[in-house]
Amino acid sequence: MADPKILTDCKAALRISSTTTAFNTEITDLIAAAKADLGLSGILDEHLDDTEALVKRAIITYVKANFGWNNPEAERLQKSYEMLKNHLTLSADYAFYAITFTVTDTDTSEVIREAEVAFDGQVKTTNASGQAVFYVRAGSNYEYTVTADDYGPDDDDDNLVDVSASTAIAISLTAV
C-alpha cells in the first residue's frame, strides 16, 4: 500500500478529492509502478522515499501521465517523467554509492596524503585527510590498489569490494 501522504499528493495533482476512494487502487498501483521503474533505472532503494522532492515529483508526474484512458497531456507528462528519471539516475546523490578509502601509515596511524587509489578504472589521489572517494553503482568484485611514494604495497590479499551500500575502507601502508 502506498504511503497515505503520497497517495493524497497524487490525488491532489489529479484534481481528485482526498475523500474520494474510488481511484485509490489505480493510483496506488501507479505509485508502485513508478517506484519500480525508478528502481530498475538505478535509483538506490534508500532514495525511493517519496518524501525526497525530486523522487516525489517523478512519482507524481508518472501517475499523472498514466492515470485514466483519455489523457491529452500523457505524452508531455511521460517525457517530463523520463527527464526527471534520467536526472536522478545520473546523480551521484541518488544512483551511486560512495566508497571512501582512508589511507594511513601502519606505524604512526597518520593519514597519507597523495597516495594513489585505483578503483573501478579510475585513479584518485588522497586528500589532506588521507581520503579518496569514488561513486559507483552496486556491484560485485570491484578491484582496488593503493600505492604511495616511500610505502610498500597494501598487504591485504583480497583487494575486492562488493558494493551494496556506501562503504568506508581503511588501508594501512608500511613505510619502506
Q: What is the pTM of this model?
A: 0.72
What is the extent of the structural domain holding 75?
A: 4-93
Cell numbers for 26, please give them. 489505480
User: What is each CA distance from 174 to 15, 46, 54, in whole angstroms?
Assistant: 66, 38, 46
Final residue belonging to a domain, choices 75, 93, 111: 93
Say if residue 163's pLDDT is above 80: yes
CATH number at residue 102: 2.60.40.1120
89 shares a domain with 8: yes
Residues 102, 154, single domain; the answer is yes
E strands, 40-166, are 97-105, 116-119, 122-125, 131-136, 139-147, 160-163
Give pLDDT, residue 92: 82
Residues 61 and 74 in one domain: yes
Residues 10 and 80 in one domain: yes
Whether 160 and 144 share a structural domain: yes
Whether the per-residue pLDDT at 1 is higher than 70: the answer is: no
